[in-house]
Amino acid sequence: MLKGRGAMKIFTKIAATFILFTLAFSVAACVAGGDSVNQSGEGGSFSTIGASTDGAGGGEKTYAAYKFNATMFAGLDKTKRSRREFFYDGRVFDCKNTEFSVELAEFLMQSTVANKDLATVKEYFVNAKFDDVEYIDYEKPTTKNSVAYVVAHKKEGDTDIIQTSIRGLNYDYEWTGNFDCGAEGDYHSGFYQAAQKVYDGLVGYIEKYAYNPVNCKFFITGYSRAGAIAEIVGCKINSEYNRLLPREKVYIYTFETPPCVVNGPVYTANIFNVISREDLVVNLFPASFGFKRVGTDIDVFRKDYADLLKEHFGFVSVAYYGGVFYNSGQLLGIAAMALLGQEVDRKEYVSLHTRADYCENGVQALSDTFMFVYLMPAAKRTVFIEGLQEALGDDYLSAIISEGVLYDAVEKSAIKAGVDIGTDGKIRRACEKLRLIAYSAYSNSRITAASVALDIANNVDYIFTMHTPETVYSMLLHYGENDRTSES
């Protein structure tokens, strides 16, 4: 398995473009999608289990303590979701917004990775004893830049806690906005448009319930795409004065967030990004496009991640869920070819080397092909992916650059899977664009591209495991402890 410094050498090359991110998570997102969790017969329980006191600072302060059940990590396989008991007390909110709190990070991550669908997230906030809860846009059809999120309140002593948790799973057509970073601008375009909606909704919530900002603390959180949205909301708060959202009262905690900011605010001390450096997503969008994260990165990666996964969730990698991830290895290899080519004097050359090039040459093709695969029923999708591998053959790196081969393979696989490819020519045009991208990369880099593609295909399990919420949460629970393994 590819790990440590060896993994980072490969990941650094991969991070040269957004194409790998989007194709890699086409499969992850497909598996993460699905029906709402069935609440029948397993309603959550809640209890107030007393109070704790803190005599620090010369005075005694009393905090309510809570224990509740909720369905968490509704991600990789809906039949194997984890139902867990959680505990917290009011001290989790009693920290400075410019200092990282691992206890607060654990609490906020619970809410953001429960934020998959309306049933699951409702159960979480009801059982965690929040009030004035608003579930915004969960029942609306998803579009390119739509976003669903929760804003909720609870009282802790004299403080009004306002928490905003953004949906980061199961968001269908919002994936097309992930592709659209924009040819220019201070932020990733798709994420920014979603962030503006969350920002406006939070301001409207404060006005509706007439909370006094002087007595409030505001917690904003999200995972992956939602983490990027939360970070940009934080940037807007820190750079645009609003008396309802004073930055000294705002806490931004993001998880596994891709770089999404080009020019952010000067003040970012209240933004913390919990990441694992081995996760592809946190290395994309590429620095060559000008993107970065702002605030403070908290790297929770541990070499003993497999032991922690087994301890907390009973499995050691996403291979636990079956072969669909490995089946995507060849597709990832194809994507890697677009990263490695030299500019050549060919009329067919297609560049993804800059942000503007990517927007001109890659966005539409990636968006169209992604949504074509994503919207397939799960059983048909598996047949389609297997058919695509069979149609392209073992030497897919050569086949993919031959004119018409990719589309023919897609068409045959769609017929085999019983999927309608459409008559508007959209998929044919997308396949031709992807062929040109691969051809441009392939022309001067055959050996290197094949080598990197093989590395990716052989390490698909590791790649997906690193972005799995269970992995990150397990490592976060042990943040600051000594690693249980020694580096080899």
Short-list 158, 165, 169, CA closest to 28: 169
Q: How many CB atoms lie within 10 A of CB 332?
A: 24
Let me know if residue 171 belongs to a domain: yes
Residue 50 pLDDT grade (very low, low, confident, very high; cuts 50, 70, 90):
very low
Let me know if residue 447 belongs to a domain: yes
Among the residues of 223-374, which ranges form H helices?
225-239, 305-313, 324-327, 329-337, 355-361, 363-374
Mean local confidence (pLDDT), 231-248: 95
Of 483 and 290, the one with more pLDDT: 290
Q: Say if residues 148 and 137 touch (Cβ distance below 8 Å).
A: yes
Mean local confidence (pLDDT), 193-209: 97
pLDDT at 238: 96
The pLDDT of residue 47 is above 60? no
Of 250 and 87, the one with more pLDDT: 250
Q: Are residues 292 and 385 in the same domain?
A: no
DSSP 165-180: EE--S--GGGHHHHH-
Which domain range does residue 399 map to? 4-30+321-465
The pLDDT of residue 486 is above 60? no
Q: Are residues 18 and 131 in the same domain?
A: no
**Number of structural domains in the chain:** 2
Instruction: Provide, rounded to the nearest whole percent, the portion of the chain with pLDDT above 90.
Output: 39
Let me know if residue 79 belongs to a domain: no
Q: At 117, is the secondary structure helix, strand, or coil? A: coil
Mean local confidence (pLDDT), 412-419: 94
Q: Are residues 110 and 191 in the same domain?
A: yes
Q: Are residues 400 and 351 in the same domain?
A: yes
Q: Are residues 456 and 374 in the same domain?
A: yes
| C-alpha span between 488 and 482 (Å, rounded) | 16
Q: Helices 19-32 and 460-467, interaxial angle, to 10°?
A: 70
The pLDDT of residue 2 is above 70? no
pLDDT at 336: 47
Q: pLDDT tens, 35-46?
A: 332 222 233 333
pLDDT at 114: 83
Mean local confidence (pLDDT), 357-382: 85
Let me know if residue 165 belongs to a domain: yes
> Which of 18-27, 101-110, 314-323 is predicted with the least confidence, judged by mean pLDDT?
18-27
pLDDT at 390: 84
pLDDT at 87: 78
Let me know if residue 368 belongs to a domain: yes
Q: What is the CATH number of the domain that holds 112?
A: 3.40.50.1820
Q: Are residues 8 and 137 in the same domain?
A: no
Q: What are phi and psi for residue 88, nearest 5 degrees? A: -155, 160
What rounded mean pLDDT belongs to the chain? 77
Q: pLDDT tens, 334-346?
A: 444 444 433 334 4
pLDDT at 279: 87
Q: Are residues 339 and 288 in the same domain?
A: no
Mean local confidence (pLDDT), 260-276: 96
In angstroms, how far is CA 397 from the centroid of its own chain? 28
Q: Are residues 96 and 8 in the same domain?
A: no
Q: Are residues 455 and 325 in the same domain?
A: yes
Mean local confidence (pLDDT), 208-228: 96
The pLDDT of residue 61 is above 90? no
Q: pLDDT tens, 455-465?
A: 555 566 777 78
The residue written with tokens 């695509």 in the block is 388
The pLDDT of residue 287 is above 80? no
Instruction: Provide, rounded to the nearest whole percent, the portion of the chain with pLDDT above 70.
Output: 71
Top mean pLDDT of 189-198, 331-340, 344-353, 374-383 is at 189-198
Q: At 379, is the secondary structure helix, strand, or coil? A: helix
The pLDDT of residue 450 is above 60? no
The pLDDT of residue 440 is above 90? no
| C-alpha span between 43 and 14 (Å, rounded) | 43
Q: Are residues 289 and 417 in the same domain?
A: no
Mean local confidence (pLDDT), 191-220: 97
Mean local confidence (pLDDT), 208-212: 96
Q: Kindly give the pairing relationship between strand 131-136 and strand 159-166.
A: unpaired
Q: Are residues 279 and 389 in the same domain?
A: no
pTM over 0.85: no
Q: What are phi and psi for residue 72, nearest 5 degrees? A: -120, 165
> Which of 62-66, 158-162, 464-468 is predicted with the least confidence, judged by mean pLDDT?
62-66
Let me know if residue 37 belongs to a domain: no
Let me know if residue 431 belongs to a domain: yes
pLDDT at 456: 57
Let me know if residue 56 belongs to a domain: no
Q: Say if residues 75 and 469 touch (Cβ distance below 8 Å).
A: yes
Residue 137 pLDDT grade (very low, low, confident, very high; cuts 50, 70, 90):
very high
Of 12 and 120, the one with more pLDDT: 120
Q: Are residues 157 and 267 in the same domain?
A: yes
> Which of 247-261, 277-291, 387-401, 461-475 is predicted with the least confidence, judged by mean pLDDT?
387-401
pLDDT at 320: 43
